[in-house]
Amino acid sequence: MKIAFNRKSSCEIVITEKVWEILAGLAARRRLFVLTDKTVYGIYSDRFDSVFPTSSVYTMSAGEAYKTPEVLLALLKKMADEEVLRGDLLVAVGGGVVTDLGGLAASLYMRGIECAYVPTTLLAQVDASVGGKTAVDFCGVKNLLGTFSQPRSVYIDPSFLATLPLRELRCGLGEIVKHAALFPALYERLSAASDFYDVGFLGEIVPLNLAFKAQIAEKDPMETGIRKCLNLGHTTAHMLELSSSDLSHGEAVLNGLILEAEIAKRTVKDADVAFLCSLQSLCRRALGDAEPVKGETIDLSLARLDKKNVRRGEIVLTLPVRCGEYRIVPMDARGYEDMLKEILPS
Ligand code: NAD
Ligand code: GLY
């Protein structure tokens, strides 16, 4: 699959079960600088050591807490110390934290060097590795510093999913259900699935997700129009993440979709209520043994903190309406808060 963003920028996406062989081939042809995190390195150290015997491998600490300007600068310093040159290739092997931070480093170093992503989480395989958004968190705001910059190649090997903890699979499932609500072919596959946590099944639906995300990103690389559909469920998800400390992003997205489907039922006249009920039940199945959120665990006053989606007392929601259709609906922030109080289960 190849996505062309304009005449100068394109990205090839390769789905393969031979990712280490491909990386070994790359390492034989050009100088690589490899970024990964400690967890991924810990699990796949034999592969890293045999495939990259002469390349520099920079291993950052794992997790969102390390997606920071400080870690970015430490990485850039290491690249400068190692005398990485413009013709070299940065290879980011890991989840969305590693690909977002590695992509940003590659776009900054010497005004931009090429990079390749090897996404190893479900979320990174179906979402973060495609579309060219790179970032680190700054001043307490997620992804405040970043660029739009496409990797040269993305190599996706579904066998990485076998080592992923269940909660990380759920993070990917949040984005997969969101894509499905917007993409009928994927909705059909999910509706027919017996076990959402079967990594064989998840590997099979990665390409459909990629096809959907790539087509949206290709049409709207800078997120000025149609790409905003990917915010489906996310305004409420961000609010839930801000007001509850123990929800993962995937759990917040699945709960956000359940609540926004309910808001759509009540506020969008031509909404397909049967579809919205079926979407809510898909989200509950994807949550697995994680309980849907309850009213008493959420501090709604914090909803207003989500700067990206609140403008002068108005909150912007991207609501599901029917299969494959969404609507961007501004709502008075107080009205949104009241509605959530009404619909959150106790
Ligand atoms: P992550 O990179 O923190 O990975 C989650 C955890 O899984 C980490 O501890 C990691 O070490 C571990 N891990 C990775 N691969 C593994 C494997 N194969 N086996 C076992 N453990 C493994 O988080 P994530 O969920 O992959 O990505 C979240 C990040 O992605 C966020 O920072 C978010 O902002 C970003 N994101 C970016 C985009 C984009 O368009 N650029 C889209 C969505 C999300
Ligand atoms: N994850 C949403 C986007 O890439 O636009």
Q: Which amino acid is at 265?
A: K
* Whether residue 184 sits in one domain with residue 118: no
| Cβ(37) – ligand 1 distance below 6 Å | yes
Minimal CA–CA distance to 181: which of 259, 282, 274?
A: 282
* Whether residue 332 sits in one domain with residue 226: yes
* Whether residue 176 sits in one domain with residue 128: no
* Whether residue 199 sits in one domain with residue 159: no
pLDDT (0 to 100) of residue 295:
82
pLDDT in 10s for each residue of the chain, 346 residues: 666 665 556 899 999 999 999 999 999 999 999 999 999 999 999 999 999 988 899 999 999 999 999 999 999 999 999 999 999 999 999 999 999 999 999 999 999 999 999 999 999 999 999 999 999 999 988 999 999 999 999 999 999 999 999 999 999 999 999 999 999 999 999 999 999 999 999 999 999 999 999 999 999 999 999 999 999 999 999 989 888 778 999 999 999 999 999 999 999 999 999 999 999 999 999 999 998 898 877 777 665 555 555 666 788 999 999 999 999 999 998 889 889 989 988 8
Q: Give all strands of the β-sheet with 310-311 in edge-to-edge order.
A: 310-311, 314-322, 325-332
Mutate-to-test residue for ligand 1 from 67, 97, 212, highest number of ligand atoms within 8 A of CB: 97
| Cβ(227) – ligand 2 distance below 6 Å | yes
Among 146, 163, 180, which residue terminates a domain?
A: 163
* Whether residue 260 sits in one domain with residue 230: yes
* Whether residue 143 sits in one domain with residue 35: yes
- Which ligand 2 atom sits nearest the alpha carbon of residue 130? 4
* Whether residue 297 sits in one domain with residue 174: yes
| Cβ(124) – ligand 1 distance below 6 Å | yes
* Whether residue 177 sits in one domain with residue 271: yes
Beta bridge mates, 320:
326
Strands 56-60 and 32-37: parallel
| Cβ(64) – ligand 1 distance below 6 Å | yes
pLDDT (0 to 100) of residue 190:
97
CATH assignment at residue 157 = 3.40.50.1970
Among 144, 163, 182, which residue terminates a domain?
A: 163
The first and second tokens of residue 261, run together, are 């489907």
Q: What is the Cβ-side half-sphere exposure of residue 206, based on CA atoms within 13 angstroms?
A: 32
CATH assignment at residue 332 = 1.20.1090.10
Helix, strand and coil content of the chain, in percent to the nearest 5, comes to 55, 20, 25
**C-alpha 230 – ligand 2 centre gap (Å):** 6
- Which ligand 2 atom sits nearest the alpha carbon of residue 231? 2
Which residue intervals of 52-165 are DSSP H helices? Answer: 69-81, 96-108, 122-123
Q: Do residues 156 and 203 touch, judged by C-beta distance below 8 A?
A: no
Q: Do residues 110 and 104 touch, judged by C-beta distance below 8 A?
A: no
Q: Do residues 160 and 124 touch, judged by C-beta distance below 8 A?
A: no
**C-alpha 314 – ligand 1 centre gap (Å):** 31
* Whether residue 27 sits in one domain with residue 151: yes
- Which ligand 2 atom sits nearest the alpha carbon of residue 230? 2
* Whether residue 151 sits in one domain with residue 176: no
- Number of structural domains found in the chain: 2
| Stated pTM of the model | 0.95
Mutate-to-test residue for ligand 2 from 100, 213, 220, 224, highest number of ligand atoms within 8 A of CB: 213
| Cβ(133) – ligand 2 distance below 6 Å | yes
Place of tokens 């107080």: 334
* Whether residue 238 sits in one domain with residue 175: yes
Neighbours of 48 (CB within 10 A): 20
Range of the domain at 125: 2-163
- Which ligand 2 atom sits nearest the alpha carbon of residue 223? 5
pLDDT (0 to 100) of residue 307:
54
* Whether residue 211 sits in one domain with residue 84: no
Among 118, 139, 163, which residue terminates a domain?
A: 163
Distances in Å between the alpha carbon of 12 and those of 125, 156, 256, 290, 312? 14, 11, 32, 36, 41
